[in-house]
Amino acid sequence: MHKYETHMHTYPYSACAVSSPEECVRYYKSRDYAGIIVTDHFLNGNTGCPRNLPWEKQIKFFAQGYERAKNEGEKCGLDVFFGLEYSLNGSDLLIYGLTVEYLIKYKKFDSLDLKTLSAAVRAEGGYLAQAHPYRTAFWIPDPYPVSPDFIDGIEVYNASMPDSVNKQAMNFAKKHNLAKQSGSDAHQTHLRRPSGIILKRPAESIFDIITEIKQNQIELIF
């Protein structure tokens, strides 16, 4: 069985993160994970990126969390995949399947509406899942799931959320026949209860993980 973290942030690329990419890799390796998906906050979220930089330099700064983690992963034997957390009117979407090069070319990717974003990601064979729906906070005007027509999955278990929020997310996923996934939403190492998913076979690419999630061939780590 092969464990993968699906939702995590690194310092200083996510402004709310505490642990460096290298620390995160070593932590998950010590917990017998096969791999991680680095999902730092994108430029329209709680990013650590200086917003006065030109677009390409912003993307390259943002991608350093993934690139540093990947380099460390190659040293210690942990697979590292690229993802991002996209903020949209207070809702957060985990996006897998894009590349750094794609983001560099797609200027103003940080200002898309949900329909346009969904079409752009799906055109690349990518995947969108709403993270922690039903979460309430002062910066979230609408603490409910986005339209199920424009996403592929739901984070039905987020280790940072109370059970009541996770239960609502699970019910929404079942009602709308959306793919289900779980993750830690890690911002630091030494988590009280690290989460993620379990695959029967090791993933060779992010698209292997996308396929397994969509086909419900994973086990959720609660």
pLDDT, one tens digit for every residue, the chain (222 residues): 899 999 999 999 999 999 999 999 999 999 999 999 999 999 999 999 999 999 999 999 999 999 999 999 999 999 999 999 999 988 999 999 999 999 999 999 999 999 999 999 999 999 999 999 999 888 888 888 999 999 999 999 999 999 999 999 999 999 999 999 999 999 999 887 899 999 999 999 999 999 999 999 999 999
Residue 159 CB neighbours (<10 A): 19
Peptide bond preceding 12 in cis form (omega within 30 of 0): yes
Amino acid at 15: A
Tell me the angle at which helices 21-30 and 55-76 cross, rounded to the nearest 10 degrees: 30
H-assigned helices in 9-162: 21-30, 55-76, 100-105, 114-123
**Are residues 195 and 159 in contact, defined by beta-carbon separation less than 8 angstroms?**
yes
Write the pLDDT tens digit of every residue in 141-188: 888 899 999 999 999 999 999 999 999 999 999 999 999 999 999 999
CATH topology classification for 2-221: TIM Barrel (3.20.20)
Domain ranges of the chain: 2-221
